[in-house]
Chains A and B, each alone.
Chain A
């Protein structure tokens, strides 16, 4: 009987309440909660410690010193946003009632290589619109598609109609400069019209635990060819630092397609699918949770270099010309 009771109590001792450490709603409590969320869930800590020398423990020690118990919410927000900026990640945001804390240096610290007024002059007023895409046949018989946000939806039918309309063009320009991302599905749907075969475009992982190196094995990402219209002529994708998140993935996928080149500046990056969490004071935090890689298993978090580097020239702008569009037209007309 005694042995039986010992076994029962041993089994019961294994059973316990499932709880998570709760931090107080104080400046220190909120900072510790934020630090822990990033420490356990953010997917680039190990990569960024190697790439940019990020030491997340040191960040904690540094920013803890900037706290004091009586600081107001604006001061706390400033400290926490500065702490998050150490991650150098545009997918990291701190949402409060009064502001959205952000790190946008991935595009703000670089030339935009885009003048929207000059770019729009190529479309004029007689362009066509298919869902999120604006398109036109330029004077030299080069097709031009402008897609400014992958938050604007497109369907297979839209893409098929657009490509059918542009079918007699000698080449195609897809301008995604300033496209900050949106739905990954739309990006992949568009890219699927530029390959005739199922091609490996990259890999993904996800975290399997709170450790900085606890990741799943690599999972292949394939681009399936569209079953409708597929483009068979040269394509140039125009990129700049404003190409972020799912646009970064679109550029990655397009570069795997046989007739596609990219022209312009490096993309902005943003290869971590963001998750959301929250602090004791109710502020929401968004952060990169699942990393994406290119087909060589290399990180694309800090952007993808263009096939043909090209910068917007001041002299061209004065003439009302977009250097990148002109360069793309020149290349497509030579091919």
Chain B
């Protein structure tokens, strides 16, 4: 347990120190997307049956350069909120799920051509969620809590069709090491609630919790400051710890918008005749 707490504190201190290296004058993008799609779920703590249905995803992303490595390292944050409603094959039982996740990534940037940017790096993130099954009983719901380090890669290709600028982007990340909460195979939340824990914090890595998040988007500039984003999101989250199998595989169509702006310090603002 001490090792796991140390691992968590290292992650937190890394995030805090890296945040301090942000370039204050860099261009940054903020994107907000809504995803609607399908969800394919399994949680053997609740049921051995697969559940299928819809999932709605809300995503907020920021992306900016830092001063690190001669301004070759970018910083990205990703907030996601998902809500799913699924049912079993006979439509007799429903699952209601919700999750909030946050990830922060640091990517090293390469620009082999003026229009192509390749990025690779690592991230740290966490998720908190639940899955509720309507069959009731003493195992009606399952909680989700996880913190992990992940590997991430991204490619951005900018091009024009006529006078219209476009940006095609692909990103994928995969958790490589983390800790997650899980009840034991037959442990009730009643027991956990009484403080009777039994290896409920588990180490996760690709062999027991292979998850992969992929997104491909196309940004179209519509006006001076408005960029429309459309895309496809494939979010696969799985785990097999304490003999409990869990998966949520979702595929969503994304639509949203991106805004770009530059952060200035006080001197720059005065020099630019901006009064706030």
| Contacts from A to B (Cβ < 8 Å) | 11, 14-22, 25, 33, 36-37, 41, 43, 184, 204, 206-210, 214, 216, 219, 273-278, 280-282, 284, 286, 289-290
Contacts and interface: CB of A to CB of B under 8 A. Distances in A.
Contacts of B247: 17-19
Interface residues of B, number: 39
Contacts of A16: 210
B114 interface: no
B29 interface: no
A289 B245 contact: no
B26 to A, nearest CB: 34
A207 B206 CA distance: 25
B85 to A, nearest CB: 17
Contact of A14 (B42, B184, B207): B207
A273 B190 contact: yes
Nearest to A96: B92
Contacts of A15: 206-207, 210
B28 interface: no
Nearest to B210: A15
A20 B184 contact: no
Contact of B136 (A216, A276, A281, A289): A276
A276 B191 contact: no
Interface in B40-72: 42, 44, 46-50
Interface of B: 42, 44, 46-50, 88-93, 135-140, 184-188, 190-191, 196, 198, 206-207, 210, 238-240, 242-243, 245-247
Contact of B186 (A20, A207, A219, A284): A207
B138 A216 contact: no
B42 A20 contact: yes
Nearest to A284: B135
Q: 7 nearest interchain CB pairs? A: A276-B137, A207-B186, A282-B90, A282-B92, A15-B210, A18-B238, A14-B207
A310 B140 CA distance: 40
B243 A208 contact: yes
B185 A209 contact: yes
B210 to A, nearest CB: 4
A19 B196 CA distance: 29
Given A290-B187, A290-B188, 14 more contacts: A15-B207, A20-B44, A25-B90, A36-B48, A206-B198, A207-B186, A208-B187, A219-B191, A274-B138, A275-B138, A276-B137, A276-B138, A280-B49, A282-B90
